Amino acid sequence: AAAAFAASPLEGALAMLAFGLGTLPNLLAAGFAAVQLRRWFARRAVRVAAGAVVLGFGAFGLAHASGLSASVQRGLLWL
């Protein structure tokens, strides 16, 4: 928005350049993290563990949403 309301085209271009240079490190870090996560999730054990976590959250949510007895809910709170 600052570039659109700049007094001159040069000031607008400088504002866009500053924004681009300011966001570049974060974009590079996000790209590096994505590559590392792809390598990490290529392992079968990590995928199985992630699936188990998803199933656990699902069971926890169903237990609380379905109105199960308080004793069953207390047993699931350790999740």
- The DSSP string of 14-37 is HHHHHHHHHHHHHHHHHHHHHHHH
31 and 7 fall within a common domain: yes
Residue 16 tokens, joined: 């866009």
CA distances from 36 to 39, 48, 54, 67, 69 (A): 5, 18, 21, 41, 43
In the predicted structure, residue 15 carries a pLDDT above the cut 90: no
33 and 50 fall within a common domain: no
37 and 51 fall within a common domain: no
* Predicted TM-score (pTM) of this structure: 0.49
56 and 68 fall within a common domain: yes
> In the prediction, which pLDDT does 36 show?
94
- Give the domain extent around 7: 1-42
Lowest mean pLDDT among 2-11, 19-28, 29-38, 45-54: 2-11
14 and 48 fall within a common domain: no
Side chain identity at 16, as an amino acid letter? Answer: M
Inter-residue long-range contacts of 36-43, CB under 8 Å, 24+ positions, other chains counted: none
Lowest mean pLDDT among 23-32, 47-56, 66-75: 66-75
Per the structure, the count of domains in the chain is 2
Residue, of 13 and 66, whose pLDDT is higher: 13
